[in-house]
Structure 1
Amino acid sequence: MLFGTSAASANSDSQSNTKDTLKVLYWNADDFNRTYGNLFSKKYPDTDIQVVTPTGSSAITDYNGAIQKYSPDLVLLPPYQYKEMSKDKKLTDLEPLIKRDQYNMTTVYPGLLAELKEQGGGKLYGLSPKTESYALLYNADLFKKHKVKAPSDGMTWEEILKLAKKFPTKGDKNTRIWGLSASGSSNLVMDIAKTEGLIYIDPNTLKATANTAAWKNAYRIASEATKSGVLDERITLPGKSYLESSPFIMGRSAMIVASISQLQSLQKAKNNVKNYKPFTLGMAAGPSDSKDRKSTGDVRITEIFAIPAGASNVDAAWDYIKYFNGDDYANEYYKPNTTGNNIGAPLSRMVKEYSGYKLDAYYKLKPNLDSASTSYALMNKSANFELNFRSVLFKELAQVVNGKKTLDKATAAIQSSTQADADKLAKAQKTKR
C-alpha cells in the first residue's frame, strides 16, 4: 500500500526548531484538516500536524503495517481495530495520563467509557469524541389525544412497534396520523438487527446465520408492522420541503427513532415553516437490546483516538485527545448558527441540552460495539456482503408482506442466498491459496 504525507500548517525553517510536530495516521489529509486539524491548530498554534495518509485508497486496512512504517503519534481507529490492537497491547493506556493531568472525566458519556474499557480488555486505550446514538422521540400531544401510554426508557423494537399499532391507520397518507416514522420491512429489519447485535455471516467461519430465532423474529415484526400500515415509510410530499414532508416534524407521527439532528430539524421548522404548530416533545432512551435493556448495538463510532505504544510524542497526541473530548470543543461543536453546522451525533462530552431540548435519553443506554466490529470485519472481506444481504431481504420480505410467501420460506431463502454469497468468497480464498 502506498502512503503519502501532508502537513496541516506550513512550516518554515525558522519555525521547525521551535514548533512541536504531531504525526497522525488518517485516511485523508484534507478531510482530517477540515474535521479536526484546523480547529486543533487554532488551540495549539505551536504544534504542527503531519498527516500520514494512504494514497489511492478510501480506507486504511493494514493499521499495524502503517504504524510500523510511519511511527505516528496518533491514530484514529474504527472499533474493530481498536479492539484488536488493544488485545495485542499495541496502544498506550490513557488512564495514567488522565490521572497525571487531573483531566475531567465526570461529564464524559459513562456508557461509552465502560464499553471502550471492555473492548480494551479492561484498560482505556482510546477516547472517541462522537457517538452516533439514537433516542425514541415522541409527540406527547398525540399520545394524550389518543389515550396511549407514553413510551418509557429501554423499550425494545418489538414493544415500540406494538405501541405504534395503538394509533389510527386510516386516512389519506398526506394528512393522516402515523404510529411511527420508519422505513418498512427490509430497512427496519436492519435497524432491529443493529440494535440486537445480530450478524448474518460469521466473519471467522463464513457461515450464514440469517435463519436464527432472533433473525426470524426481526423479519416477523418488521413485516407485520409494514402490513399493519402504522409506518409512514419515510414518505415525501411533492413540492414540499423535507421539513414539511416529515410527518413527525409536522406533528402527524407519534414516534421516531432519531439522532439529535432531528432536534435541529424541529427548531428549523419552528423558524422556517409558515404557520407551523409546535407540539410537546417527549424523549425516551431506546430502542434497547432485548437481551440487555440497558444497552444497544445501534451506535456508530467511526473514530477512536488512540496513541500507539512507543509513540515519540505522547504529550502532543494526548493534548489532541484531551481537546477533542473536552469542553472547549463541545462549545465549538454545538455553537448555534454556524455555517454548515449540521449536528448528526452527540458528543461523548455530555451537554445538558441542544436546540432547547434535553439530551439525557441519548446517554442512558450503554453502547455495544461488537456489532459494529463484526460489520467492519465483513466489509473488509467483501464490500458486497451487506449490499447483497439487503437486496435479498428486500425481495423476500416484500413477498411476505404481499402474502405471496410464508415467513418460513422467506427465511430459508434469505439463509440460502446469504450462504451462497459466503461460499463464493470462501471458494475464491481457497483458490488463491
Structure 2
Amino acid sequence: MKRNVLRKALHLSLSVMLIGMSVTLSTGKHVSAESSDSEADSTGTLKVLYWNEEDFNRTYGDLFSQKYPNIKIEVVSPPGMEAIRDYNGAINKYSPDLVMLPPYQYQQMSKDKKLIDLEPLIKRDAYDTKTIYPGLLDELKKQGGGKLYGLSPKADSYALLYNVDLFKKYNVKLPSDGMTWGEILNLAKKFPTKGDKDSRIWGLSASGSSNLVMDIARTEGLTYVDPNTLKATANTTDWKNAYRLSSEATKSGVLDERISLSSKSYLESNSFIMGRSAMKVASISHLQSLQAAKSGVKNYKPFTLGIAAGPAAKDGKSTGNIYIQEIFAIPADASHVDAAWDFIKYFNGDDFADEYYKSKNSNNSIGAPLSRMVKEYSGYKLDAFYKLKPNLNSSITNYILMIKSANLELRFWSIISKELNEVVKGKKTLDKATAAIQSNTQSAADKLKKNQAAEK
C-alpha cells in the first residue's frame, strides 16, 4: 500500500516538471509600468509544453479558454526525462513565455536570474495579493533570493482535525494551533486504549511507525541523505526522536493504523469519520469525506469538528509538510510577458478560486486548498490550513534525491519499516535500530554513488 502511494507521488512529482509554455500573442517582452490589462483583446496561440495534453486541459486549458476565448491552445510534450534532467535546456529549446516549476527549479532559476520579478507587474496592475497565503508568499520570496519570481495557485497543506465531542467526553484539553507531533501524540495517549478494534476509541488516526516517521520528518524538514555528498544523515538527534515518537505511539496502542473493516465501505472503515478517533492529520479532502458520510452512511451520527493548525515544526510556527507542485513563473527572456502574466493572475485570482470550490463541491475530488485564501468550505473554516509558515527546503532536497534515484526514498522507507518493527516488538533497542538505519541507508546511497560513477 505504502509503496503504491510513494510511486503515485513520484509519478505526480515527475509529471509536473515537464512543463513550459510559449505564448504567441500581440503583447511584448518589455515590462512597462504604463501597460494595462489586455484580457478582452488577447488573441493568438498559446503553445504549452506539458507532460499530458488531456491533463493540462482538464486542469488549466478549458478554464483559461473560457476566460480567453480568442486564444488557441497548442500543447507540446517534451519526450521522456528531457525537462527533468535539463530544465534550462528544455526552456532554451522551446522558448516558453510561461513555465510551471517545482520548488527546486524555481529556486535555481531565481538564483541564476532567469526569471522575471513579478512585483513590478503586481504594482502596475494593482493586483491584490492580500488574500494570498501570506506564508507562501514569504517562502517564495525567500527561495527567490528576496524577490517574488512566481506564484503557485495551490498549496497542499495539512491541519489537525479533531473530534470536539470525544475530547469533552474524556475530559481532555482541546488541541491548539502550532502543536508539534510530540504534543499531539501525548494528547492521543490520554484516550482509552481498551476494546475491540472494530468499535473502540482511538487517540489518533495514523498508519504505523515507518509511515509516522516520514510524516514527522517532513514536518520537521529532516533529510535522510545529503543530496550533495550522498552521506546518510539518518542518525541525528532529530531523526532518533522521530523514531522514538513513532515506535512509542505504535506500542501504546493509540494509533488506529487505518484499519479496513470487512464488509464496510471506506467511509465506514474510517474511524475518525465515524466518530471513533479523537484526531487526524489531514488535507482539505477529508472535509469532503465528512460531508459525504452525512448522506452516504446509514444512521450516521455527525460530531462537532475542530481544526487546528498543525502539526508544526519545533518552532511551533512553521511546517515542511506542505506540497507545492507548480510555481508559475516567466522566463527572463520571454517575448510575451503580459500574456504570461494574464495567465498567472487568473489562476491565482478570485475568479478561479470561486470556480474551483464551486466545481469541487459536486464531484468530491478537491485535493488542496488554493493559495488564494478562502474563509470556509462547506461550512468548515479553512484558516487553520494557512496559519503555519511553509518551509520548502526539505521538499527541494527530496526532489534532488529523487532526480538522482527514483527508488532511494522507497529503499529508506523499507529500511525504517523493518528496523522500527523490531523496536516495537521489543527485539531491538532504539539505539541499535538507529545505527542499523544509518548503516543501511549509507549502503543504499553508496550503491547509488557507484551507479552514477559507472554511468559517467
Short-chain TM bin: over 0.9
Aligned-pair CA distance for 1:336: 5.3
Aligned to 1:380: 403
SS at structure 2 position matched to 1:35? helix
Aligned to 2:246: 222
Pick the aligned partner of 1:152 from 159, 176, 192.
Answer: 176
Matches within 5 A, 1:39-50: 39-50=63-74
SS at structure 2 position matched to 1:351? coil
Answering whether residue 386 of structure 2 is matched by residue 329 of structure 1, we say: no
Q: Deviations over 1:207-227 (max 9, x none)?
A: 000000100000001000000
CA RMSD of aligned residues (A): 2.0
- % same residue: 75
Pick the aligned partner of 2:163 from 136, 139, 142.
Answer: 139
Aligned-pair CA distance for 1:298: 0.2
Pick the aligned partner of 1:23 from 25, 29, 47.
Answer: 47
Aligned-pair CA distance for 1:28: 2.2
Residues 133 and 300, structure 1, Cα contact 8 Å, conserved in 2: yes
Aligned to 1:12: none
Matches within 5 A, 1:210-359: 210-290=234-314, 292-335=315-358, 340-359=363-382
* Unpaired stretches in structure 1, ≥5 consecutive residues: 9-17
- In the alignment, the residues of structure 2 paired with residue 396 and residue 320 of structure 1 have an alpha-carbon distance, to the nearest angstrom, of 49
Aligned to 1:399: 422
Residues 21 and 97, structure 2, Cα contact 8 Å, conserved in 1: no
Pick the aligned partner of 1:199 from 223, 240, 263.
Answer: 223
SS at structure 2 position matched to 1:181? coil
Aligned to 1:176: 200
SS at structure 1 position matched to 2:74? strand
Residues 22 and 73, structure 1, Cα contact 8 Å, conserved in 2: no
SS at structure 2 position matched to 1:218? helix
Q: After TM superposition, what 4+ stretches of structure 1 lie above 6 angstroms from structure 2?
A: 3-8
Q: Please report the TM-score for the alignment, with normalisation by the length of structure 2.
A: 0.89
Letter of the structure 2 residue corresponding to residue 355 of structure 1: S
- In the alignment, the residues of structure 1 paired with residue 98 and residue 362 of structure 2 have an alpha-carbon distance, to the nearest angstrom, of 29
- In the alignment, the residues of structure 2 paired with residue 336 and residue 272 of structure 1 have an alpha-carbon distance, to the nearest angstrom, of 20
Answering whether residue 99 of structure 2 is matched by residue 99 of structure 1, we say: no
Answering whether residue 392 of structure 2 is matched by residue 369 of structure 1, we say: yes
- In the alignment, the residues of structure 2 paired with residue 242 and residue 397 of structure 1 have an alpha-carbon distance, to the nearest angstrom, of 28
Answering whether residue 158 of structure 2 is matched by residue 117 of structure 1, we say: no
Q: Deviations over 1:49-74 (max 9, x none)?
A: 33332124596332100111110011
Matches within 5 A, 1:76-95: 76-95=100-119
Letter of the structure 2 residue corresponding to residue 237 of structure 1: L
Aligned-pair CA distance for 1:263: 0.7
Q: Deviations over 1:256-281 (max 9, x none)?
A: 00001111111111122111111111
Change in 2 beyond 3 A, CA 1:317/1:251:
same
Q: Deviations over 1:184-236 (max 9, x none)?
A: 10000000000000000000010000000100000001000000000000111
Answering whether residue 438 of structure 2 is matched by residue 431 of structure 1, we say: no
Residues 27 and 58, structure 1, Cα contact 8 Å, conserved in 2: no
Matches within 5 A, 1:58-77: 60-77=84-101
Q: Please report the TM-score for the alignment, with normalisation by the length of structure 1.
A: 0.94
Aligned to 2:232: 208
Of the structure 1 ranges 21-30 and 95-104, higher mean CA displacement relative to structure 2 is found in 21-30
Change in 2 beyond 3 A, CA 1:302/1:63:
same
SS at structure 2 position matched to 1:60? helix
Aligned-pair CA distance for 1:5: 11
SS at structure 2 position matched to 1:386? helix
Residues 44 and 71, structure 2, Cα contact 8 Å, conserved in 1: yes
- In the alignment, the residues of structure 1 paired with residue 20 and residue 203 of structure 2 have an alpha-carbon distance, to the nearest angstrom, of 52
Change in 2 beyond 3 A, CA 1:336/1:91:
closer
Aligned-pair CA distance for 1:426: 1.5
Aligned-pair CA distance for 1:141: 0.6
Residues 221 and 320, structure 2, Cα contact 8 Å, conserved in 1: yes
- In the alignment, the residues of structure 1 paired with residue 335 and residue 386 of structure 2 have an alpha-carbon distance, to the nearest angstrom, of 35
Q: Deviations over 1:151-207 (max 9, x none)?
A: 000000011001100000000000000000001100000000000000000000100
- In the alignment, the residues of structure 2 paired with residue 50 and residue 5 of structure 1 have an alpha-carbon distance, to the nearest angstrom, of 12
Letter of the structure 2 residue corresponding to residue 420 of structure 1: S
SS at structure 2 position matched to 1:129? coil
- In the alignment, the residues of structure 2 paired with residue 6 and residue 108 of structure 1 have an alpha-carbon distance, to the nearest angstrom, of 24
Aligned-pair CA distance for 1:337: 6.4
Residues 5 and 51, structure 1, Cα contact 8 Å, conserved in 2: no
SS at structure 1 position matched to 2:72? strand
Q: Deviations over 1:339-393 (max 9, x none)?
A: 5351110000000100110001000001000011011000000011101000011
Residues 155 and 288, structure 1, Cα contact 8 Å, conserved in 2: yes
Q: Deviations over 1:403-424 (max 9, x none)?
A: 0111111111111111011111
SS at structure 1 position matched to 2:168? helix
